[in-house]
Structure 1
């Protein structure tokens, strides 16, 4: 198998590969910026694709050392992080941004250890 044909996600999760480029981002800020760049239809499509697979993805990742994830599993973990971030927009706010927050924002100075 050549580098060009290497799978982006682990076996059993390959149907989620169309979301990797936009959503398997390394930082929370990048994921939040992506959420803000999408409309609610796009966020809903992403959420509806990932959410039903979340428990299986977590079970798969739980079998591995999180400090030494292979790239496909790291991308899967980042998709889960994005799903969590998008879930607020889809299920709570019903819009990409946080309502009634004005110009308030926060910067994440340190990413969670993975």
Structure 2
């Protein structure tokens, strides 16, 4: 079976649905997920963040491969999930009511 991610990041394959290209969609997935789901994703992805960052820093954005693009998007999701896991222990921002994030422009990849 071929991995959706670059070599060395095969452990992320069960979480390929976190490789989400837009901030709004990443936020929506976070708030619709359970803490068990967020913890499972975080526990696998966070230890790979340093190696993934080093890999992506060496990657040209002009000709980035699909596996590297998925890796980038997945780590963007990790950033979106981190505070929920590390601080709040809930998917939504505490005491925020029906707030939402509306990105006007997404970064180009």
1:19 counterpart = 2:11: no
Match of 1:110 in 2: 105
Distance 1:106 1:50 in 2: 23
Listed as ranges, the gaps of 5+ residues in structure 1 are none
Task: Report the TM-score, using the length of structure 1 for normalisation.
Answer: 0.89
Encode CA deviations 1:2-44: one digit per residue, 9 max, x unaligned.
Answer: xxx5531101111211101x20011011111111111111100
Is residue 27–residue 101 contact of structure 2 (8 Å, CA) maintained in 1? no
Higher helix share: 1
Distance 2:108 2:99 in 1: 26
Secondary structure of 2:107's aligned partner: coil
Distance 1:110 1:99 in 2: 26
Listed as ranges, the gaps of 5+ residues in structure 2 are none
1:42 counterpart = 2:37: yes
Is residue 30–residue 38 contact of structure 2 (8 Å, CA) maintained in 1? yes
Is residue 5–residue 13 contact of structure 2 (8 Å, CA) maintained in 1? yes
Max Rg structure: 1
